[in-house]
Amino acid sequence: MNITEIKSELTGDSYYKINHPSGLVIYVYPKEGYKSAYAIFGTKYGSINTCFSVDGGSKITVPDGIAHYLEHKLFESEEGDAFVRYAETGANANAYTSFEKTCYLFSCTEKFDKSLEILLDFVQHPYFTPQTVAKEQGIIGQEIKMYDDAPDWRVMFNMLEGMYKNHPVKIDIAGTVESIAQITAEKLYEVYNVFYNLNNMALCVSGNVTVEQVLKTADKMLNPCKKTEIKNYFQDEPYEVNTPFVEQTFPVSMPIFNLGFKEKAEKQLDEKALACTDILLSMLASNTSTLYRSLMDSNLINSSFSYELFEGPGYCSVIFGGESRAPRQAAEMIKQYISKVKSEGLDKDDFEIAKKAVYGDAVSSLNSVSSISNAIIDYHFNGNELFEYIDAVSKASFEDVSNRLSEMLDVCNCTLSVVKQAGKED
């Protein structure tokens, strides 16, 4: 077993990376003086992984939404529901499926060892029958319809459908009512056996824990897994957006918009590129930026305005969004401002302010056990590392961020998605 201490010279914090004999990578981030602990157990398997092969074999295609379906079903066993078991330890448990991963988690202030044992147990022991799978179709079907009625959800997926022609990131994480009807117990076992291999997974624990404590439970609960080679397949995705504008009517009091800039996605961003992008977006659109103030002064946005880098295997975009009385005008002002900055260059004072803000946010996140574990597992699956990202922020130069701007935010390659009331004019 290989245990490596990963230390930050900047913050003085450290955590441990353990290559467990089972094949699982385990991270432990002890926080002295903390009363709570947080654990997250994830697999590099999300909604976009619907076409794959194992060990060079033939391609396997599975229905959209199966990763999310599997997440729901994994909490069940012949002995009962995992949530009932957690109730006995007092832990607060949850799970989620994203585009590129599925994670199971809990937080607690006592009985950590038992809660970790429950987590490692139920995730490793699937139990699917035709009857239980059929029962879940109605439940998830209702969930899909609920999201179809959520304007924030629709405005985002309408934008993704507008940006992406082929990549499955444009498909709802839960799939469709039609696609989940194709899911069977056999198909669930098939994807489980491929993607829930411990070599494709990671466990991250932070807070009131020790390495010895985590390893004691891991040694008890984990059995060695044979490593396999998983290859995911995606259709070629053109650089250009599919369509520049999408609109849907909804009973909303205020129109909602998402403006997505489609970026090149040959490979996922490393720590330096991520750091420079975060600083750049803070410069452009944080609530201290010139753009933000202009949009607010023009009454085109409110405090719901946000921005994010949206990135994963084979997809990358920058999204601005929020409520707006005039979404087209807001989007046009954003594009004009980006064009102006690209032409005239960034402001060095804005750079210094944004760099300090991004660095401060990164360091302050180390005070939250959930933020720590979630960040580490995200970076692990992307091939990055938490402290290297913080170092990259601290070392980022004005020239680095200016170069990043030159590589992204093509105002001729974006999609505006709007949700508004019927009959309302922009």
Q: What is the rounded CA–CA span in Å between residue 93 and residue 122? A: 12
Q: Other CB atoms closer than 10 Å to residue 326's CB: what's the count?
A: 17
Q: Which of 5, 9, 71, 212 is catalytic?
A: 71
| Residue 396 near residue 272 (C-beta atoms within 8 A) | yes
Tokens encoding 194: 């491929």
Cα dist from 338 to 159, 344, 409, 426, whole Å: 19, 10, 7, 22
| Residue 38 near residue 215 (C-beta atoms within 8 A) | no
Tokens encoding 3: 């245990």
Q: Buried (b) or exposed (e) across 206-242, using 16+ Cβ within 10 A?
A: bbbbebebbbebbeebbeebeeeebebebeebeeebb
Q: Other CB atoms closer than 10 Å to residue 250's CB: what's the count?
A: 16
Q: What is the rounded CA–CA span in Å between residue 237 and residue 101? A: 21
Q: What is the rounded CA–CA span in Å between residue 339 and residue 331? A: 12
Give the residue from 386, 306, 315, 260 showing the smallest Cα distance to 46: 315
Say which residues have a Cβ less than 8 Å from residue 378's Cβ, sequence separation at least 6.
101
| Residue 227 near residue 61 (C-beta atoms within 8 A) | no
Give the residue from 281, 238, 232 showing the smallest Cα distance to 262: 238
For the question of residue 100 being annotated catalytic, the response is no
Q: What are phi and psi of 351, to 5 degrees?
A: -60, -50
Q: What is the rounded CA–CA span in Å between residue 96 and residue 159? A: 22
Q: What is the rounded CA–CA span in Å between residue 17 and residue 102? A: 20
Which residues are designated catalytic? 71
